[in-house]
Chain A
Amino acid sequence: MKVRVDPQICQGHTLCAMIAPDLFALRDEDGHSYAISEDVPAGKEDLAKEAARSCPEQAIQLF
């Protein structure tokens, strides 16, 4: 599974990093999110899905 945060859509709600801090990090200057690695580590797929489902802007793509 791969994960990406669309920087055009993310508005910095920070729920993804709250739910899956191993998968998402927030930029210091504005709190907008990025995936730490495009590849979701084995065993973290459910967390990635929950983060995507919880994003208020629906900015997280799983593929």
Chain B
Amino acid sequence: MSTEEAHVPDAERKKDTISLDRHSPRYRIEFEQLADEFHAKCPVAWNETHGGYWFASGNKELFDVARRADVLSNDNDISGTKRGYVGISIPHVPDPERRTRGGFLEMDPPEQRYYRQALNPYLSPAAVARWKPVVEELTRACLDEVIETGRIDFVDDLANVVPAVLTLAMLGMPLKHWEIYCEPTHASVYTPPDSPDYPRVQQLSLQMGMHMMQTIHEIRANPRPGLINELVTVEINGYRPDDTEILGVVMLLIGGGFDTTTALTAHSLEWLSEHPDQRERLSRERETLLDSATEEFLRFYTPAVGDGRTISQDCEINGTRFKEGERLWLSWAMANRDEKVFPDPHTIHLDRTGNRHSSFGLGIHRCIGSNVARAIFKIMLTAVLDRMPDYVCTPGGAVHYDTTGVINGMKNLPATFTPGRRLGAGLAETIDRMQRICDEQRLAEAVTVRAARAELD
């Protein structure tokens, strides 16, 4: 790069400028029009809101920049000893009490790579396959709780429960503690600081953090298999992480494991209620259609809508000149609606091919729980199709998050259906039984230690 090029004025570099508050209702309500407009005019733009940041929405543009770990940083420099970067949230909310970063999602290699290598054997497709009987049984119990009433809230009664219980099981925690984690994990995503409910949610979150710290101490003292035990024994690039760093990692796994899977499941069930012919087809042709339908729901609803990065060195990509220290938003959600890659992008095609969506991110930070999410989603969805084939979501009953700047989620999704018969024990009893099976069979071990699938007695 010549000296002249290096001093291109900001006005020239940022000539494609937009003003979009992703945390406003407008972003959610006008999402499709905005995506079309940006793709046509400014697939990479300078967004003036929230202190200014680059906004990548075009599929090719996002693809070309998102995988450039050589010029991007995820680091959240909480100790102030590195370059002062602020992690993956835009806007960054400075909080003097916040002493943890978002686990390895707010780290760069090599530390980030050590964490993933340590945790992948608990979360790979082979590792997750071992849990399927447990997920099926938890799902069965959730549906049994309501099957005789003909009424369900798909969020409260199913999609919030199964991912939470399974995540705790994989962590190696007591399953019955799922309720301590469920509400604050979801509510802290959708409750803005100016909400009257905010202090209560903050209090719940605080209790959750304290409970998790205690759990980490307990597992350190009395080892039991699972992700937490791995974290308290692992060596990361020559050091052993302290409890605060481990807490950040565990909360990343919980945050990633709960709200996103709930969001995907609720949206998919809502859409299938609105398209009963497609629902019937999916149920009938699930052998061939379930995988592609799952990927299409992932593409269309993109539960984790995007991620922030910091530019770590001056660079030019596809004609955009980025400067070190500038912030960048990777809009997975908008890239998933780019008609250059996805024909008829704003319509769900259950049999879509070539569906290379970026809903789990791209590059070295690909969602580490993607295999868990897919497995739980497919089991919950097919169980609903089998046991509540005629469900109808209550008109006006669905409560979507007011804003979708972080997660495209849902708070409630009530529905009615023709009542059916229970097949087994209720949820509390089933959770106790699954706990015993987890303990006896050491299900939460890494797949490299224990490869056998769970056996229900």
A interface residue numbers (CB < 8 A to B): 11-15, 17-19, 26-31, 50, 53-58
Cβ contact within 8 Å between A54 and B353: yes
Known: A19-B291, A28-B447, A55-B356. 12 other contacts (CB 8 A): A13-B360, A18-B291, A26-B126, A28-B121, A28-B127, A31-B123, A31-B125, A31-B371, A54-B353, A56-B356, A56-B357, A56-B360
Residues of chain B contacted by A12 (CB below 8 angstroms): 120, 124, 366, 370
> With A14-B371, A15-B295, A57-B67 in contact, is A29–B121 under 8 Å at CB?
yes
Task: Tell me if B354 counts as interface (CB < 8 A to partner A).
Answer: yes
Taking the closest CB of chain B, its distance from the CB of A10, in whole angstroms, is: 10
Task: Tell me if B185 counts as interface (CB < 8 A to partner A).
Answer: no
Cβ contact within 8 Å between A53 and B125: no
Cα distance, A56 to B355, chains bound together (Å):
8
Cβ contact within 8 Å between A15 and B448: no
Task: Tell me if B385 counts as interface (CB < 8 A to partner A).
Answer: no
Cα distance, A2 to B421, chains bound together (Å):
53
> With A11-B363, A12-B366, A18-B291 in contact, is A29–B124 under 8 Å at CB?
yes
Residues of chain B contacted by A53 (CB below 8 angstroms): 353-354, 356
Contact of B370 among A13, A19, A28, A55 (CB under 8 A): A13
Cβ contact within 8 Å between A50 and B353: yes
| Chain B CB within 10 Å, residue with most, of A13, A14, A19 | A13
Taking the closest CB of chain A, its distance from the CB of B156, in whole angstroms, is: 30
What are the nearest 4 A-B pairs in CB distance?
Answer: A30-B120, A31-B124, A28-B126, A11-B366
Cα distance, A27 to B295, chains bound together (Å):
21
| Chain B CB within 10 Å, residue with most, of A19, A28, A53, A54 | A28
Query: What are some 15 contacts across the A-B interface (CB < 8 A)?
Result: A11-B364, A11-B366, A12-B120, A12-B124, A12-B366, A12-B370, A13-B366, A15-B295, A18-B295, A28-B121, A28-B447, A29-B447, A30-B117, A54-B353, A58-B63
Cβ contact within 8 Å between A57 and B447: no
Cβ contact within 8 Å between A31 and B358: no
Taking the closest CB of chain B, its distance from the CB of A20, in whole angstroms, is: 11
Cα distance, A23 to B451, chains bound together (Å):
23
Contact of A54 among B125, B354, B358 (CB under 8 A): B354
Cβ contact within 8 Å between A54 and B355: yes
Cα distance, A55 to B447, chains bound together (Å):
25
Cβ contact within 8 Å between A15 and B356: yes
Taking the closest CB of chain B, its distance from the CB of A13, in whole angstroms, is: 6
Residues of chain B contacted by A54 (CB below 8 angstroms): 353-356
Interface set, chain B 215-256, CB cutoff 8 A to A: none
Contact of B362 among A15, A28, A29, A56 (CB under 8 A): A56
Cβ contact within 8 Å between A14 and B370: yes
Interface set, chain B 399-449, CB cutoff 8 A to A: 447-448
Taking the closest CB of chain B, its distance from the CB of A57, in whole angstroms, is: 6
> With A13-B360, A53-B354, A53-B356 in contact, is A28–B67 under 8 Å at CB?
no
Cβ contact within 8 Å between A30 and B124: yes
Cα distance, A41 to B120, chains bound together (Å):
31
Cα distance, A18 to B289, chains bound together (Å):
11
| Chain B CB within 10 Å, residue with most, of A15, A30, A57 | A30
